[in-house]
């Protein structure tokens, strides 16, 4: 069973399962603990009723401490396992794993927002988002796809089928800092067949005027009013590198 006390001594494994270093985890833990106490005060039970006995007076749960609660939800977001697998990892049943996800995910979202690391979801506010201006100088825009369950409806099957991935997918557009790799903007979710440039146009992203934006061929013709856009060029077929 995974616990924070066991995992924190294995730094490489900790990073692989959470995507965070111990220092980053502890910084997030302080904000997470604050928001958890606000959302679920110790004077109330899980159902929100006034508590009649002391906290931890009964049998200890699988996520007894706040560190394990944060570890549970971060591991889920990093590895995205089935809930039955997540339950096995943390010593609980599938229904209990679902319960804790519904309880902890909103708390984590508020904690990340308090730390100022949540990506902007409104394209109009990217240029004025809360971050150092240096983060907005050199940007990368790209499309990301993830597999989804094959729809039963034939029309939706065609819509979500991505020829590029040879699978049914959902797609988002992200804008990230080219140096720190921090994701600054995350678009709404679209069907996998939707073209990257079309999504960018619909999101109406507003960039700082002095920004430099790097893009790939999926954004051919996408030229927002900024200082410079840079697009990588494919090597022509038959070059020495291709024959090599």
Q: What is the 3-state secondary structure (H, E, C) of 90-158?
A: HCCCHHHHHHHHHHHHHHHHHHHHHCCCCCECCHHHHHHCCCCHHHHCEEEEEEEEEECCCCCCHHHHH
**What pLDDT shows up at residue 240?**
57
Q: Is the dihedral of CA 98, 186, 116, 11 positive or negative?
A: positive
130: containing domain:
123-231
Same domain, yes or no: 190 and 107: no
pLDDT at 244 over 50: no
- Asked which of 121-135, 182-196, 218-232 is least confident by mean pLDDT, the reply is 121-135
**Average pLDDT over every residue of 169-189:** 92
Query: 3-class DSSP state for residue 50?
Result: strand
Same domain, yes or no: 63 and 133: no
What's the structural domain count of the chain? 2
Domain end call among 91, 114, 137? 114
Name the band, by pLDDT with cuts 50, 70 and 90, for residue 147. confident
Residues facing residue 147 across a β-bridge: 169
Domain end call among 62, 95, 114? 114
Same domain, yes or no: 108 and 28: yes
Q: Is the dihedral of CA 213, 148, 15, 75 positive or negative?
A: positive
Tell me the C-alpha distance between 51 and 41, whole Å. Answer: 10
Do the beta carbons of residue 171 and residue 199 sit within 8 Å?
yes
Question: Scanning the structure block, which residue is given the tokens 């790097």?
Answer: 214
**Average pLDDT over every residue of 224-232:** 91
**Average pLDDT over every residue of 99-118:** 93
Domain end call among 53, 84, 114? 114
Q: What is the pLDDT of residues 156-178, one digit of tens each?
A: 888 888 888 888 999 999 999 99
pLDDT at 83 over 70: yes
Do the beta carbons of residue 190 and residue 117 sit within 8 Å?
no
Q: What is the pLDDT of residues 36-76, one digit of tens each?
A: 999 988 777 666 777 666 666 556 667 989 999 999 999 99
**Average pLDDT over every residue of 141-169:** 88
Question: Phi, psi at residue 200, to the nearest 5°?
Answer: -60, -40
pLDDT at 88 over 90: yes
Same domain, yes or no: 21 and 66: yes
Name the band, by pLDDT with cuts 50, 70 and 90, for residue 204. very high
Task: Give pTM, 2 decimals.
Answer: 0.73
Residue 85 lies in a domain: yes
Residues facing residue 229 across a β-bridge: 213
Residues facing residue 140 across a β-bridge: 176, 214
Fill in the DSSP letter of residue 58: S
Fill in the DSSP letter of residue 44: B
Tell me the C-alpha distance between 24 and 15, whole Å. Answer: 10
Where helices occur in the chain by DSSP H, the ranges are 4-7, 11-18, 22-39, 66-79, 83-90, 94-114, 154-160, 196-203, 240-243
């Amino acid at each position: 069973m995974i616990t924070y006390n066991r995992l924190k001594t294995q730094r490489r494994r900790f990073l692989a399962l959470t995507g965070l270093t111990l220092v980053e985890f502890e910084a997030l833990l302080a904000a997470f603990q604050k928001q958890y106490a606000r959302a679920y005060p110790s004077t109330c039970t899980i159902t929100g009723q006034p508590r009649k006995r002391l906290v931890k007076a009964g049998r200890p749960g699988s996520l007894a401490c706040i560190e394990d609660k944060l570890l549970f939800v971060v591991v889920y977001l990093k590895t995205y396992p089935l809930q039955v697998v997540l339950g096995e990892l943390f010593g609980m049943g599938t229904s209990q794993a679902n319960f804790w996800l519904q309880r902890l995910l909103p708390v984590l979202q508020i904690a990340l927002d308090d730390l100022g690391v949540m990506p902007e979801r409104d394209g109009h506010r990217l240029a004025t988002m809360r971050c150092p201006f240096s983060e907005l100088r050199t940007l990368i825009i790209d499309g990301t796809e993830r597999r989804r369950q094959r729809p039963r409806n034939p029309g939706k099957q065609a819509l979500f089928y991505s020829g590029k991935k040879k699978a049914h997918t959902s797609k988002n557009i992200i804008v990230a800092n080219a140096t720190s790799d921090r994701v600054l903007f995350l678009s709404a979710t679209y069907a996998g067949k939707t073209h990257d440039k079309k999504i960018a146009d619909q999101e109406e992203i507003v960039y700082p005027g002095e920004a430099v934006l790097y893009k790939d061929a999926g954004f051919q013709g996408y030229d927002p009013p900024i200082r410079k856009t840079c697009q990588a060029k494919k090597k022509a077929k038959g070059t020495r590198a291709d024959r090599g």
